[in-house]
Amino acid sequence: MPDPNPAVLDYLATRRSPGAKTFTAPVPDRDQLMQILSLATRVPDHGKLEPWRMIVLDRAAMAGLADLAEARARALDGDAEKIEKGRGQFDRGQLAVVVISSPKVAEKVPVAEQLLSAGALCMNLVHAATAAGWGACWLSGWPSHDAAFRAQAFGCGEGETVAGIIHIATPAPMAPDRPRPDLSKLVSWA
């Protein structure tokens, strides 16, 4: 018979997805963030490949990325909305961890599984930061998917992508929960 962990089940049942736009200072200090990162890296990584890396962004780094996103949007003939979407999360961000998916050449571990490991790291970062009392929000946005921006902003090389940008800071009071999926429409039994 399994031994349930009611505290974890309650956490998962009541977890919300706060908007990063509502986050304020303070943010975790270096020691607090290292504890969060240590917990977050307990993900399946198939043979200890560690097919990801992380970049911590402070306010100063995000200001530079906001300018870079705007310049890239203008180079792409972006309109005002594209510029705002590119700048937005960096202009308003307090602290973020960029998770870079960095697949390794591994005969027995498909790239798809390595990409999922980076996604699992993103979700674990959200859970670890939230469990530590911080607000956490997983974002990406068009700059994350733009090869030129990724290369200049995060030093992404061939085959590397941004799995997510996890914003971590002080959350605003919790808003009502959003509607959740109707499992009867999404689950089938074989």
The residues pairing with 24 across neighbouring beta strands, listed in sequence order, are: 170
Dihedral Cα 24, 62, 20, 140, nearest 10 deg: -170
Q: Report the half-sphere exposure of 124 (CA within 13 A, side-chain side).
A: 18
Q: Where are the alpha helices (DSSP H) in 21-79?
A: 30-40, 59-75
Does residue 17 have a known ligand-binding role?
A: yes
Question: Is 87 annotated as a binding-site member?
Answer: no
Measured CA to CA, the distance from residue 161 to residue 99 in angstroms comes to 9
167 is in an annotated binding site: no
Beta strands in 16-60 (DSSP E): 52-57
Q: Using alpha carbons, select from 31, 16, 24 the residue that is nearest to residue 126.
A: 16
Amino acid at 162: V
Is 46 a known ligand-binding residue? Answer: yes
106/151 Cα distance (integer angstroms): 23
Please state the residue numbers annotated as binding site.
15-17, 42, 46, 138-140
Please state the residue numbers annotated as binding site for FMN.
15-17, 42, 46, 138-140
